[in-house]
A and B are shown apart, each in its own frame.
Chain A
Amino acid sequence: MIECKNISKIYQSGNIETHALKNASFKIADGEFVAIMGPSGSGKSTLMHILGCLDTPTSGQYFLDQKDISKLSDEELADIRRGKIGFVFQSFNLLPRATVLRNTTLPLVYAGISRERREELARKALQGAAFPEKFWNHRSNQLSGGMMQRVAIARALVNNPTLILADEPTGNLDTKTGEVVLETFQRLHKEQARTIILITHEPYVAGHAERVIHIKDGEIISDEKNNQQVIIKNNATS
């Protein structure tokens, strides 16, 4: 459960104030699949950073699971990220020399979970992301882009987060592998009732979500149910 109340973010450099976000308010219920869409410079990255607990708003309140986290310190935010957020980045951000399994378990390492339990959770997450088992011990820099993004999705799933935040997850992929990734999100949403927030500038990608929030110049200009949701048939998997 996510609730934003009048969130504003002002960046100050010298005497120039940049209003990246202006009074954004919305709620996202558990199990929703929402796309946040807007052109570059619209403030969607700023919103993602706040939703992902990487940054705090200048004013306003942000509740994640009924907990106000808009005034927490850096170290407290790290705790929240570790327990409640899973990130999927445009450029994957895997550790290149580590194996697929090691990459997947990385968030659990910081959570202080035992090795056996980590392996078990990583297997479940990799299966959830439909990552083929024969590559589990490959190094991540030996994989294709689509495969890498699925490792990243598994890594985002592994700590069983409240929220998966995907920042342009198809940005570095061709259309076909991009669809595989989007299909994975749709399936996770449907089968595991995951809350997923997709941040993108492409209307086509946003079209895969159930609900689309448009943002422009730091303001939410529309927030509506997506009536023409693109449903990908379950054929592109692996």
Chain B
Amino acid sequence: MQLVDILHETKTALSANKARSGLTILGIVIGIGSVIAMVSIGQGASGQIQSSIEGLGSNLLTVMPGFLQPGRGIVSSGRGSAQTLANEDIEVLQQIAGVAYISPEFQRRFQIVASGNNTNSTVIGVNPDYAQVRNVSPAAGGSFITEAQVRSLGRVAVLGPTVAQDLFGEGNNPVGKTIRINRANFKVIGVLQSKGSAGFFNPDDTVFVPLTTMQKILAGADFLSMIAISVQDKNLMPQVQEEALLALAQKHRVDPQSPDFSIVSQADILGALTQVTDTFTIFLAAVAGISLVVGGIGIMNMMLTAVTERTREIGLRKAIGAKKRDISLQFLMEAVVLTSIGGAMGIILGWAIAFAVSKIAGIATAVSLNSVFLAFGVSATIGIVFGYYPARRAASLNPIEALRYE
């Protein structure tokens, strides 16, 4: 029997009972559609997290005081309490090949006052390289901390947009105005462009001052809360991380196996977060997958009914010379065509749902080509799996009994 003939039979059989075929297809449409939509929401979320992590600065290594136990996650309770990073460590790190910029940072929360307004915010002491490393830039009309200001303990500050708004109100340009941090006056020289929150850190709600000013005037301590290292090339990351670990361990005279600091790469942070979103995606897909299985059972139910209804027809076909293979192929093809139509429509539906979700709810979604192919493959497989038993039953009917069937 040729494929065209099988398809012709399939078309006739499926169009004979349009309502039933339609409802069966609907089951698959809902199944595939929800899988596509759910996976797209999950992948969209992970894509969003990835881009906001990368937005923190590219090819970044972060050296933090205190030792993070592997497997204990990236949120350290001891962070900031350990005082093991010092200004001298910068020079050691600068010797390492492949390092582009180094940004030592000292951060602490202070009360900030300006023109009668009050806010409690994070103040970070930085060097000019911070802008390159962390991917921040001042809005038009302002500037970032300069080398000269760092050297001269300049009392200048760059505001994050949220802080600027809290202190000076919307629409007012704070550049040139004076703010008080911990009872010291600072001149505002710039406001950063808005970046949005990234994970646990919101660069918009921050005030930047020169590192020297921070250490000597505001905090009165000369350790660092972290050192950010920007690496020239992504491929050099592991190598630089390794060398930085050894160099700092030697400088601190500690065992590299249990140093008094830790170096976290962006890949580590990303890995931890994608693990979360992957779990989330799998959970959503599993819930949607259940409806797909229910749809498959619908297919099987319909095919079993069809086999019973068409017993005499099967008997006739066998009497005029159809082999088992011909009969089972015919019924299998019906199931596969049903699921394929359902799969194609489900992909469109899932796509539409993903689009609607991102439009209405504002959740990022991403329909990947992979999930489309996967969904189509899954629906065809469901056709074969759930169509196999009815097809085999049809093929194994005895022609004499089938012809007598009332």
Contact = CB atoms under 8 A, between A and B. Distances in A.
A78 B321 contact: yes
A54 B319 CA distance: 7
A77 B400 CA distance: 13
B316 interface: yes
B120 interface: no
B370 interface: no
Q: Say what secondary structure dominates the interface of chain A.
A: helix
Interface stretch (B205-213, B238-246, B278-286, B322-330): B322-330
Contacts of B326: 110
Contacts of A107: 320-321
A75 B328 CA distance: 13
A78 to B, nearest CB: 5
A79 B322 CA distance: 8
B12 A98 contact: yes
A55 B400 contact: yes
Contacts of A97: 12, 16
Contacts of B89: none
A167 B322 CA distance: 20
A106 B400 contact: no
Nearest to B323: A78
Chain B interface category by residue count: 20 to 34
Given A78-B322, A95-B313, A106-B320, A112 B2 contact: yes
A87 B399 CA distance: 13
Q: Say what secondary structure dominates the interface of chain B.
A: helix
B400 A54 contact: yes
A109 B317 CA distance: 10
Contacts of B155: none
Chain A interface category by residue count: 20 to 34
Interface in A89-104: 89, 93, 95, 97-98
Contact of B320 (A74, A98, A110, A112): A110
Contacts of A159: 320-321
A55 B404 CA distance: 14
A159 B2 CA distance: 17
Interface string B254-291: 00000000000000000000000000000000000000
Contact of A52 (B1, B2, B312, B319): B319
Interface of A: 49, 52, 54-55, 74-75, 78-79, 81-83, 87, 89, 93, 95, 97-98, 106-107, 109-112, 115, 155, 159
20 contacts: A49-B400, A54-B319, A54-B399, A54-B400, A55-B400, A78-B318, A78-B321, A78-B323, A79-B321, A79-B323, A82-B322, A83-B321, A93-B316, A93-B319, A95-B313, A109-B2, A110-B317, A110-B320, A112-B1, A112-B2
Given A49-B400, A74-B324, A106-B317, 7 more contacts: A78-B318, A78-B324, A93-B315, A93-B403, A95-B316, A107-B320, A107-B321
Interface of B: 1-2, 4-5, 12, 16, 312-313, 315-324, 326, 399-400, 403
4 closest A-B pairs by beta carbon, nearest first, are A82-B321, A107-B320, A93-B316, A81-B321
